Structure formats: C-alpha cells, structure tokens
Chains A and B, each alone.
Chain A
Amino acid sequence: MRLKAFRIENFRSIVDTGMQTVSPDNITCLIGQNESGKTSILEGLEVFSSGVISEDVLRSDLSLPKVTCSFEVPEAYLKSKLHPVNDEFDKLVNSLNNITLIRSWKADLESQMDIGGELLDYIKEVENGRKKELIETGEKIKAFYSELDEARKKKQKLTDKLNSIQIKLDEHPAKEGGLRFFRRKKTDLKDDADNTLEKLSESFEETRGELDKVNSFLEDNSSMVSVVEDRLKTESELESVNKKLDDISMRLEERHQTMTLLSGPSLEYLSRGEWEKVLKEFKSTVSKKERLEKELDMKTLLCGFIFDGLPEEKARIKLQKIEDERKLEYIPRELGEILSADCPHFEIFEDFGSLLPNRIDMEDLVSDNQNIEGYKAARNFLTLAELDYSFFQQPSSRILKQKIENLNTKITLDFQDFWQQYVGRHNKIRINFELDHYSTNHGAKAGKPYLEFWVKDEGERLYPKQRSRGVRWFLSFYLELMAASRRANKHLILLVDEPGVSLHARAQEDVLKVFEDIKENIQIIYTTHSPHLVDINKLHRILAVQRNDLADHRSTTVLLDAARLGDASPDTLSPLQSIMGNPVGDQEFSVDKHNIIVNNVGTFYMMNAAVKLTGYKGRIHFIPSTNSSSIPLMCNILMGWGMKFAVLLFHNDKEIEIARQLEKMVFTNKPGENENIIIMPEEFMNAEDLLSTLDFKNLILKTREGITVSNSEHINLNELPRNFLLSKFLGEVNNGKITRSNLDEESKENLMLLINILQKFK
C-alpha cells in the first residue's frame, strides 16, 4: 500500500488541511516558516498510526481531531481481504484501487479507525435507504401509538361510564324493591328522566357496545401492541443512554479544558481511580448506545413488517433472515480495522535515535535487551551489514577477523556512497566495528564478547560519540533509514522533521541522496527550511505550509500544493526561490521574462547544452517540468508568481495534447498568450532529436551501432537513462570537451533553428 493523500482536521493549529496529495515518487517535502504548522502535520500523520493523542493537541474549541489517509492498494488486494457481501458491494470492491481510512477521536480521546471514501459512501447510501424506510415505519408507529393511546383512554372512559351506569342500575328502586323505594320520594326518581330504568339500561348497552369495539380493536392489534411497546421501551432506553453520554462527554470536555489550561471548572478533585471510572463508564455507555441503536432499528423493522400485514411469527422469521444477511455486511469501523492492519505505518524519525554506542555486549544483542543504550543502532548496523548472530559463532578467530575487516570495507564504501564529505581535503571517514572479549579485570563479564564501534579517518580513530554533531546525526539517520528500508516488510512512511539542520549545505544534499535511495521501499515526508533539501527538478514534491493569516501566528495552518504554490507567501517559498535560479550553477532566476518551460530535466540539460553550443548570448532561462503532463501545473505556478514565460513543446502526441490543454485551460481568453506555446517542427519529437543521429551516437551514446529510428525513439525503445546521458552531455559541453566544431552540419542547423525559434519569444 502506498499513501496517496492525507487530510488532518482539528489538530493543534490545523483546522482542516483539505485532502492533500503526496508526491507520487514517494518523497514529499513540506516547506514553510517556523510556527507555520509543518511539525503538526507530521505529528498529525504519526497519530494516524498510533491513535494516541493527548489533550494538548486539541484546539481551543475542543473539536476532536480526525486524520484521513488515502492509500493505493495492489490489484485484487481488497478482494483477498474482504468476504463477499452482495453483488453491488463486491463489484465496488473489485473496482477499487485505493482505500480511504479515517482515524477519529472521541471525547475520551480514544480513537477508532473507519473506512472512508467510496466504500463509506456505499455504506452510507445503503444506510440512508434503510433509514428512510425506518423513518416511514417510525411515522406509522407514531400514528398507531397515538391511536392505541386514544383507544386505551376511551376504554378507560367507557369502563368508568359502564361502571357508573351499573351502579345506578344496581341502585335503581325498581330493582331494589320496596324497602329502598319506600324510603325515597317518588318525585326523586320521577324527575330524573335519565335515571329511568329503561334509559339506564339503554345507555349501559350502548356503552358496552362501544367498549366491545375498543376491546376488539385492542384485541385485534394485540401482537402489534406488544412489539410497538417493546420498541418504545428500547427507544426510551436509548434516549436515557444518550442523555447519560452527553453528561459524561461534558465532564470529559471539562477535563480537556483543564488539561489544555484553557478555561472551565477544574476536575482535579477527581482521583485517578475515579477518573478512570468515568472513562470506563464512557466506553460502556458508547457501546450500550451502539447496541441499542441497532436493536431499535431491528424492532422498528419488525413493526413495519407487522404493519404490512405479516403475522408476528412470520415477521420475526423475516427479521431473523435480514439480521443474518446483515451480519455479512461490513460497518465502517469493521472495514477500517481490517484494512488498517495492512496500511503503511507512519513513524517519526528521531534525531540521534540510532546513534551507535561505543561498545555493546553481544549478550545484550542476543537477548534483545532493548533497554541497553545503543541497542537500536547496533541492531540497525547488523541489519545493514546483513549479519545475524551465527556470524559470530565462527570458530576460527583469524577467519572471523578477516570477515569483519571485509565487512568494514563494504559498510564504509556503502556509507561513503551517501556521505561524500571530507575530513580536511582528501580524508573520508570510515565506519568500523570489532569483536573483542572482556579482560579478566571485568569481573563477571570477563571473557564475554562485545562489539566495539569506531568512526575512523586517516588521522584519528574515535568512538561514534566523539565525532561532530553533524557526523553523529548523519550516521544515525543513515543507519535508521537504510536498516528500515532493508527490513521493510510492511510499508513504512517515515516522517522526518527538519533533517540535517546541523549539516553543512553539501552534506544536506547527501540526505536527499539517502531519501532517493530508499524511496522504493519507504515513503518519506519531511519538513525543511533548507534550499539544499529541495530538488528543483521535482517541484511536485513540495507542499507549502503557512498560516492562514500571515500576521497572526495563532491563525490556522493551510497547505498549498504545487498547483497553488503561487498563493504562498514569499517567506514560505524562500527555499524554492533560493534554488530556482541555480539549477545548473551559473544561471540566474529571472522573475520577469525569458523563462521557457520544458518537458523534463533531460530536455532542460539538452537545451542548456544547445544554447552553449550555439554561443547564443541572449537571456534564456529554461525551467524543467517533472514530465510533460506536469507542464500545465508548472504554468500555473509561474503564473501565480507573476512570471512571464513560454512553453517549448516537442512534436510528440503527448505534448501536442498538452498544447491543446494549455490553449484551453491555461492561456484562456488572454489575447496573444497562445503565442507563448512553441511547438517544435515535426522531426523533433524530443530534445535529443536536435542532434543528428551521428552526433547523438558519437557524442551522447558513444556507440557505433546503426540507429534507424529517431534519437528519442532509440532512447525509449532501449530504455536508456536519458537524464543521465543528457546531463553528461551538458557536463562535457560545459567543460569544453564538446564544442560546436564537434557537431555535424545537421546538428548545427537544428540548433540554430532552435535558437531562431526561441529568439521570437520575448
């Protein structure tokens, strides 16, 4: 899996970075001033993996953080990880080549990983459809319940009435006979027309009839009544759980406020034990809430089936079937948990975290005693040396020493590939390790083996710790990264905050070399202020970080990708502007005019060589794009910077299409601007076609084979290292090994044609 994009919300100074795409070539560089929020971005990404945050990352409004990462997944990966659910879901899974995972935190600062992106959209769509159905059923339940309520009230009323009539009837003189009748005046009953026996009897019958109807309604709906009431019980239980959760959340928020030293009442009176009890209660309440929500949905469904006329028994069978089917379905968290298990791990590189010890006991290495100082560095060293402990079990001390010497040479040579700095003028440092045994005056350790490390140069043999800060940092950095790259069985995304601050400018370039070397195995995101750590030829790697309101260091952090670099402040872009003018060492960066964008760095070399070979003295500054597809992006950047420029395109399908895109999308409706698109004549499919085949062979390829296609086609067909070849060519032109007199008339004519074309651009 490879990280494609990320988004950080509510994390320190960051409100929302928006979805930011990282460089497709695995090295992403964050530039920006101090306090702009670069480190927060690295930390935000790191907690995506760890899930561990503290209150101090919370923003003042206490909004909870959320980090979203999008990953590219190998073909058929999802299919292999997820069981079939239904045709639609399975089809979606098969069509996806990336996944989005969202790590979000709750009030107790515990987090959960959910799926996002298309899979989440799908789940939500399904849920929304179901929710609609549940809402409709809910409405029906409400109506039914109110009918039920009325019927019950009516029943009560009718029962009361019936009872009262019964009493009257029972007390009626005609029924009671002489004694009672005798005691009352005749007129008492005579005047009360309603209380005549006849009337009372009629009313009794009428009321009983109505009551029968109500009873019959209640009887008919008895099964419905029980399920609706059961549902209502769950609903009210959920309501009280939600209320409880609100209360706990409020207490947690108060705690966050206290911890972040903001405002609000202190909860310090809570002991640690009591506080943990609160957190436990929060967790159990959340889980209860989730259970009740699910239960409520199922009960609502059951009501719906019964409303639709299914007998309760059949409705329950149908519900069970649905429940079984839904058991197969994934919920966002489940998908998040499954897929995050394989996603790359973000890890912050610790400065000096892998500093070689002067000495480490073999016993500690063998027993994985990680608490011992220098353990990690020593392990990294052994990984790089491709050694395991069996290596040291060589019975012959002489052979072992020879093997160690050979290894020292190899390790040093590997290291020197990257660290090209000298001690003095010619002296390069060497990394050595030795196996030795404690002498008898070391007590219990006597006779036990240990490894000793040295960083040597011709003048001195010093322990690693005795070396300069720069050497120590680079050595630690080198060991950590190279070892991580070697053992990367799970993809690692290394987050490096301002690498090489203690290094000389040239040594900083060595840091870039290490990044380049490991980028196939490890993705790297690093922050820097140094122009030496930004590759001018790879502007697509840059994300500019700055505060939304430049005057207020408390304002939120914003990120600007390469397409929006034009919106970044000059201070943010200062590392870029330091290098933009100096891609080949002797050219100045023009902010006004004479800038010509070319398709890539190979062409950039060729163009500079062409200008030099023709002896053209005018001002032309070539700016390499990363590839022809990035030309529109480069145009946008330069436009943002208010620079005037032209685009030089070669006659190949891709660049002809780019010309169309530029006309449509970049130079739209601006009179005269389309003249800034220069398309080379048909025979020049790329910059190397400016040379005759013969010169191409003699001066660039240095071969004598017959070439029957264009130079550019030959490079493509044979997968030759174009940038390398053309940069070497430029080097030889610059140092005078190749001059105009080495060119044949065809090459000379082509180069003059190029200059004539470029001269037209003012």
Chain B
Amino acid sequence: MNKGIRDFDSVLFAQAMDEHLSSLRYASMIQRSLMPDTSFLSGILKDHFIFYLPKDYVSGDFYYAYQNGGYTIIAAGDCTGHGVPGALLSILGISFLNEILQSRSVPRANRILNRMREKVMDALDQRGKEYEQKDSIDIALCVYEPNGSVIQFAGANRPLIMVSDGQLKEIKPNKMPIGVAPLEEVSFTNHRIEVKEGDRFYMFSDGYPDQFSEKTNKKFKIRNFRQLISHVADWGMDRQKEHIEKIFNEWKGSAIQVDDVLVMGFEI
C-alpha cells in the first residue's frame, strides 16, 4: 500500500470518527435534556447537588425527579454497562418511570420499582431463562410524602444514605436489580423513614466507590465514600459537590475512569 492511499484512509477514518463523536455529543445533549434541570430540582428540593460524570459522552447513570399530587419522587439509577448501551437503557428507565408515575394511585416507592421491573423485563423479553440478556438497572428511589415528615425509600442494589443530626445512616437496598433477578423476583421493600428539617440524603451509582486510584490502584470503596459523606454532610450543597468532585479527581489521578459516576445529594 503506498503512502498516498494510507493518508487517504486516515483522512476517511478521521472523518468517520468526527461524525461519530458529533453524534455522541448530540446524544449526550439529548440524554441530559431527559434528566431534570437544576431549576426544576431547585423548585422541588430545598437544596441539592448533582455530581454527574459520564465515563463517555453518554452515560448509563441517570437521575430523575418528578412531582405529582404533592408527592416528590427522586431517583438515581445506574444501568448495566456504560456508553451507548447504558445510555439507551437509562432512557428506557426514565420513560418507564414517567409512565408509572402518571398513574393516579398513591405512589409507593417499592411498587414503583416493582412496576418498573415488569416493564424492563417485558422490554428486554426476560423470562428467567439461562441464556437470555441479563441487562438491568440498579436504582435508589425516594418518595417524599406531602405531609413532610415521611420519606419512602426502595432500592434495587443501590442504598440511600441519610445524615440526620450528624449521624449517618445507610438504608440497605434489596439485592436485586430492575430486571430479571438471579433466582426469583420478589417485591422490593418499602422503607418508611421519619424525616425532619435539615436531614440530608445521598443517592449514588457505584462509579464513585468503584473508582481505582492512580497511586494505590485500589478502589475508593463504599466505606470511604460513607466517611466522605459524613465529613461534608453539614456543609452547603455547592461546597459538598466541589469537595466530592475534588476528592474523586485526586483519587483517580491519571487513572482511567472505570465507570459513569453519579452522586446526588439533597435536602427536603
């Protein structure tokens, strides 16, 4: 192959890559537009921050907020994989949540996840067979009741961290995803948590605790993440986000980001 042809090929390749990246950028924009913007979140939450760092242009992580009949629903999801497949599943997840929450029935956190699981299993044609696709969504979902004193939580592999009076409490999720379960699908648990003013809540994907350090080549781990939250919980939300982001970048250093990252903190 002579040089001229090689140059021509590399030009074509560069052109294709450029088109591909443009598409991804555009897809990223669309994905972002499906998630609630800051002004909407500020309207329904007293305070909040979102640390959202996709590994690629588009992300398998997503956050979600909805308000209906005085109930506020907030969720942070993490779809299997990252990049385009994860992003597509996240869009499915968002649209399923929209469908489910439009129902006039009183929202229950666990029933929302139960219904979402049905939809995902139906969409991916999962029937519990051995060789079928096992794609799924991990999600933490809170329903803040209109009376202002109770928050419901249900989790599919994703916990909720709550900091109240300086005490950190982790509410454990059910160990099953939104999608076909390893053995059998059972109902998600509905946690009803008494809350008071000033309590802060954190939902996150596993991208942050699973991130490897450049220096130690070790994962950040959930234990450190809990400590980090505990450390920043009484700060202002913007400062919390800055610090969490700073710690993440310091920990990662020049190591590759292993997964999409989402940390969501809010106060009701």
- For chain B, residues 71 to 127, give those with C-beta under 8 angstroms from any C-beta of chain A: 104-105, 108, 110-111, 114-115, 117-127
Number of A-B contacts (CB under 8 A): 52
Asked if B185 and A704 sit within 8 Å, CB to CB, the answer is yes
Mind listing 17 A-B residue pairs with CB under 8 Å?
A692-B114, A693-B115, A693-B118, A694-B185, A698-B184, A704-B121, A704-B127, A704-B184, A705-B122, A705-B126, A706-B122, A706-B123, A706-B125, A745-B110, A745-B187, A746-B114, A746-B187
Asked if B111 and A705 sit within 8 Å, CB to CB, the answer is no
Asked if A708 and B105 sit within 8 Å, CB to CB, the answer is no
Within the complex, what minimum Cβ distance (angstroms) separates B54 from chain A?
Answer: 28
Residue positions of A touching B, CB distance < 8 A = 682-683, 692-694, 697-698, 703-708, 744-746
Residues of B within 8 A of A705 (CB): 121-122, 126-127
User: Which one, B105, B111, B121, B187, contacts A706 given CB within 8 A?
Assistant: B121
Residues of A within 8 A of B164 (CB): none
- For chain B, residues 117 to 157, give those with C-beta under 8 angstroms from any C-beta of chain A: 117-128
Asked if A706 and B119 sit within 8 Å, CB to CB, the answer is yes
Asked if B104 and A744 sit within 8 Å, CB to CB, the answer is no
Residues of A within 8 A of B127 (CB): 703-705
Asked if A706 and B184 sit within 8 Å, CB to CB, the answer is no
Within the complex, what minimum Cβ distance (angstroms) separates B177 from chain A?
Answer: 13
Asked if B186 and A744 sit within 8 Å, CB to CB, the answer is yes
> A744 with B122: in contact, given A692-B114, A704-B127, A704-B128 (CB under 8 Å)?
no
What are the interface flags for B30-57 relative to A under an 8 Å C-beta threshold, 1 for contact and 0 otherwise?
Answer: 0000000000000000000000000000
Q: How far is the CA of A704 from the CA of B110 in the complex (A)?
A: 18
Q: How far is the CA of A425 from the CA of B230 in the complex (A)?
A: 74
> A708 with B122: in contact, given A693-B114, A694-B114, A703-B127 (CB under 8 Å)?
yes
Query: Does B180 lie at the interface of the complex (its beta carbon under 8 Å from any beta carbon of A)?
Result: yes
Q: Which residue of A lies closest to B121 (CB)?
A: A706
Residues of A within 8 A of B110 (CB): 745
Q: How far is the CA of A703 from the CA of B180 in the complex (A)?
A: 12
Residues of A within 8 A of B120 (CB): 706
Residues of B within 8 A of A744 (CB): 186-187
Q: Given A697-B185, A704-B184, A746-B108, list of 8 further CB < 8 A pairs?
A: A683-B105, A705-B121, A705-B126, A706-B119, A706-B120, A706-B123, A707-B122, A746-B111
Q: How far is the CA of A697 from the CA of B180 in the complex (A)?
A: 13
Q: How far is the CA of A697 from the CA of B115 in the complex (A)?
A: 13
Name which of A692, A693, A694 has the most chain B CB atoms within 10 A of its CB.
Answer: A694
Residues of A within 8 A of B187 (CB): 692, 694, 744-746
Within the complex, what minimum Cβ distance (angstroms) separates B91 from chain A?
Answer: 17
Asked if B128 and A706 sit within 8 Å, CB to CB, the answer is no
Q: How far is the CA of A705 from the CA of B127 in the complex (A)?
A: 4
Query: Does B190 lie at the interface of the complex (its beta carbon under 8 Å from any beta carbon of A)?
Result: yes
Q: How far is the CA of A477 from the CA of B217 in the complex (A)?
A: 84
Q: How far is the CA of A231 from the CA of B122 in the complex (A)?
A: 85
Q: How far is the CA of A745 from the CA of B128 in the complex (A)?
A: 23
Asked if A704 and B180 sit within 8 Å, CB to CB, the answer is yes
Within the complex, what minimum Cβ distance (angstroms) separates A694 from chain B?
Answer: 5
Asked if A708 and B119 sit within 8 Å, CB to CB, the answer is yes
Q: Which residue of B lies closest to A705 (CB)?
A: B127
Residues of A within 8 A of B111 (CB): 692, 746
Q: Which residue of B lies closest to A704 (CB)?
A: B128
Q: How far is the CA of A708 from the CA of B103 in the complex (A)?
A: 13
Q: How far is the CA of A706 from the CA of B137 in the complex (A)?
A: 15
Residues of A within 8 A of B190 (CB): 745
Residues of B within 8 A of A707 (CB): 118, 122
Q: Which residue of B lies closest to A707 (CB)?
A: B118
- For chain B, residues 170 to 203, give those with C-beta under 8 angstroms from any C-beta of chain A: 180, 184-187, 190
Q: How far is the CA of A697 from the CA of B128 in the complex (A)?
A: 12
Q: Which residue of A lies closest to B119 (CB)?
A: A708
Q: How far is the CA of A745 from the CA of B180 in the complex (A)?
A: 20
